[in-house]
Structure 1
């Protein structure tokens, strides 16, 4: 992955998260889980690094802000579906089986 830009970590509460996972679905599920905790600038796709196992994605978090109140539209492989951010948020296995 390319180097982290200094602008993305200029203040306390800002973070860059790099996810390494076996497949796209897993990496995007981790990103969705992070989106339930704070504001996030999500990655729209994963990447594969030659010679390295699995896939990677990078997303940007702002821990100072709460996540948006509306449901997040799934962006990964598979059918689009809304994920509830209410009192029982989706934990993926029951509505996104492997």
Structure 2
């Protein structure tokens, strides 16, 4: 994954989440669980590294903006 950009964590409550899972469905389901609770910049797809098992996904959360359930 690319290095984390300072702008994404410059204030308390901003979070970068890197997810590594066995498959796309698990990574996207986890991301959706986060997006159901907080303001989230979601990824449209996962990435694969041929030298690593599974898939990876990065999303950005703003814990200062919880969503109503």
Q: Indicate whether the TM-score tops 0.5.
A: yes
1:66 Cα deviation (Å)?
2.0
Distance 1:8 1:26 in 2: 24
1:49 Cα deviation (Å)?
1.1
Question: TM-score, structure 2 length as denominator?
Answer: 0.94
1:13 paired residue number: 13
What is the CA RMSD across the aligned residues, in angstroms? 1.1
- Indicate the structure (1 or 2) with the bigger Cα radius of gyration: 1
Unaligned runs of 5+ in 1: 70-85, 87-98
Larger strand proportion of the pair: 2
Distance 2:59 2:40 in 1: 7
Alignment: residue pair count: 69
Unaligned runs of 5+ in 2: none
1:60 Cα deviation (Å)?
0.1
